[in-house]
Amino acid sequence: MKRSLNPIFGIVLFLMILPMHISAQSQRFTILHTSDEHSVLTPLPAVDYHPEKKDPSLGGFARLS
């Protein structure tokens, strides 16, 4: 006689997820989205870029954040 493993799998899955749900704390995160970066990760001109100073650099993911 074949027994279905679905109920057993469901119980095991529930018991694995339950501790994560109980100990979970609320966390906040931000998703930065852009549609047209052309694989430019650093601002242009890259020579003048400094993350802590005001400069004339344009574009890149550094400017999104």
Does a structural domain hold residue 9? Answer: no
Please answer whether residues 15 and 33 qualify as being in contact, where contact means their C-beta atoms are separated by less than 8 angstroms: no
Query: pTM, whole model, 2 decimals?
Result: 0.30
Instruction: Give residue 15's pLDDT.
Output: 87
Q: Is 44 helix (H, G, I), strand (E, B) or coil?
A: strand
Domain count, the chain: 1
Does a structural domain hold residue 41? Answer: yes
Domain of 36 in residue numbering reads as 28-65
Does a structural domain hold residue 51? Answer: yes
pLDDT tens for the 65 residues of the chain, in order: 567 778 889 899 888 888 776 666 677 778 777 666 566 666 666 566 666 777 666 666 656 65
Rounded to the nearest 5 percent, the helix, strand and coil shares of the chain are 40, 5, 60
The two tokens of residue 36 are 């047209």
